C-alpha cells in the first residue's frame, strides 16, 4: 500500500509535456464485452479511414490476450513498450508505419503491468510518451475484450469509447456490462453494431442498448452505425490486409466510411475536450495504481 501511495504522489507532482507537434489528441478506446465481435478489425480499419480523412492517427495495440493488429495489417513488429522500459529503444523507435500511413505501437502489453512498475520505470514511461516526435490528432486504443480490470482501466482513462457489439444476445448483454462499468468515467460512449444482416436488425439492436442504458444508467449512448455481415472481411483477414484497403467498394467498407464520418462530425459538435498524451497516461496510471 505504501509503495502504491508513493507512486500516486509521483503522478500528482509530475508535469507532463504535450506532443512536440500536436498540443492535444483525441483518445478513443475501442472495446467489446466479449471476443469474436470484430473489435480489432474495427480499430484497424477505422484508424485507416480516419487517416484518409486527413487525421494523423496512432493506433495502440493494447490487447494482451489476442494482439491481432499485426495479423490484420501484415506487420511483424520487432519491438514494443518493454524495450522502451528497458531503455533498449526509444518510443519513436518502436512506432511502426502502418497501412495508409497510420502509426502503430505494437503489442503494447507493457500497459497491463503498470501497477507493478518501479518508480524509475514509471518516470521512463512518462518521459517516453512525452517525447513522441510526430503530429498526432487521434489515438485509437484497441483494448482487450471483456471486463477485466486491465481492459476497464484502459477504457476509463480515455475520454471517449467505442463499444462494438453484434445482434447476438450474449454480445449485447456483455456490451451493456462494459457500459455499466465505465459510464461514470468516460465523457462519451459510442456504439457500433457489427455483423448485422441489414440496417433494421442493426438499429433494433442499437436501440435496445440505448434504451437500457438510458433507463437504468441514465447514460446517453451515441449510435455511430453498423457494419453488415460481409464475406470480404474474412477474405481480407486471410490475406492480412485491412478490408477497407482490400475491398474499398464493399458494403462493409461503405458502412465503415459512414461510421468514420459520423465520428468526425461528433468531434465538431461535441463539448468533449481533447487530452494531451501525458494527461491520458497520468489518468491510466492512477487507475492502475489503485
Angle ∠(114,94,37) on CA atoms, nearest 5: 70
Q: Is the pLDDT of residue 31 over 90?
A: yes
Q: Could you tell me the pLDDT band of residue 66, with boundaries at 50, 70 and 90?
A: low
Three-state DSSP at 54 gives coil
Q: Supply the DSSP symbol for 194.
A: E
Distance, CA of 201 to CA of 180 (rounded, Å): 23
Residue where the block lists cell 465505465: 182
- CA 72 to the chain's CA centroid: 16
Where are the chain's structural domains? 28-114+137-148+157-275
Decide which of 82 and 57 is more confident.
57
Decide which of 167 and 153 is more confident.
167
> For position 97, what pLDDT does the model report?
94
Please give the C-alpha separations between residue 268 and each of 58, 185, 190, 264, in angstroms, as whole numbers.
20, 21, 15, 7
Helix, strand, coil shares, percent, the chain, to 5: 50, 15, 30
CB proximity list for 168: less than 8 A, separation 6 or greater: none
> For position 95, what pLDDT does the model report?
92
Q: Which of 128, 111, 108 is nearest to 61 (CA)?
A: 108
Q: Is the pLDDT of residue 2 over 50?
A: yes
> For position 199, what pLDDT does the model report?
94
- Ranges 29-33, 73-77, 98-102, 283-287: which has the least confidence: 283-287
| % of the chain with per-residue pLDDT over 90 | 56
> For position 20, what pLDDT does the model report?
45
Q: Give tens-digit pLDDT for 80-135.
A: 777 887 788 888 999 999 999 999 988 765 566 655 667 777 777 777 877 787 88
Distance, CA of 19 to CA of 21 (rounded, Å): 6
Give, for 2, the enclosing helix (H) or strand (E).
Answer: helix 2-13
The two most distant CA atoms of the chain are separated, in Å, by 57
Question: 28-114+137-148+157-275 in CATH: which number?
Answer: 3.40.50.300
Amino acid at each position: 500500500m505504501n509503495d502504491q501511495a508513493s507512486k500516486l504522489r509521483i503522478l500528482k507532482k509530475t508535469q507532463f509535456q504535450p506532443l512536440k507537434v500536436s498540443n492535444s489528441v483525441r483518445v478513443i478506446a475501442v472495446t467489446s464485452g466479449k471476443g469474436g465481435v470484430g473489435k480489432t478489425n474495427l480499430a484497424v480499419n477505422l484508424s485507416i479511414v480516419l487517416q484518409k480523412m486527413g487525421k494523423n492517427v496512432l493506433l495502440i495495440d493494447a490487447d494482451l490476450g489476442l494482439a491481432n493488429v499485426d495479423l490484420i495489417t501484415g506487420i511483424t513488429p520487432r519491438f514494443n513498450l518493454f524495450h522502451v522500459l528497458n531503455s533498449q529503444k526509444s518510443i519513436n523507435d518502436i512506432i511502426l508505419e502502418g497501412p495508409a500511413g497510420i502509426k502503430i505501437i505494437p503489442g503494447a502489453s507493457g500497459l497491463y503491468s503498470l501497477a507493478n512498475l518501479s518508480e524509475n520505470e514509471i518516470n521512463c514511461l512518462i518521459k517516453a510518451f512525452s517525447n513522441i516526435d510526430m503530429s498526432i490528432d487521434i489515438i485509437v486504443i484497441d483494448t482487450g475484450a471483456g471486463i477485466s480490470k486491465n481492459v476497464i482501466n484502459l477504457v476509463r482513462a480515455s475520454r471517449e469509447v467505442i463499444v462494438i457489439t453484434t445482434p447476438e444476445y450474449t454480445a449485447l448483454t456483455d456490451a451493456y456490462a462494459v457500459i455499466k462499468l465505465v459510464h461514470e468515467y468516460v465523457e462519451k460512449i459510442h456504439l457500433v453494431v457489427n455483423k448485422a444482416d441489414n440496417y433494421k436488425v442493426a438499429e433494433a439492436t442499437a436501440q435496445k442498448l440505448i434504451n437500457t442504458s438510458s433507463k437504468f444508467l441514465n447514460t446517453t449512448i451515441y449510435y455511430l452505425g453498423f457494419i453488415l455481415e460481409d464475406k470480404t472481411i474474412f477474405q481480407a483477414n486471410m490475406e492480412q490486409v485491412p478490408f477497407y484497403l482490400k475491398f474499398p467498394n464493399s458494403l462493409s467498407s461503405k458502412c465503415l466510411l459512414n461510421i468514420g464520418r459520423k465520428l468526425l462530425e461528433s468531434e465538431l459538435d461535441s463539448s468533449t475536450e481533447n487530452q494531451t498524451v501525458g494527461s491520458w497516461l497520468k489518468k491510466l496510471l492512477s487507475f492502475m495504481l489503485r
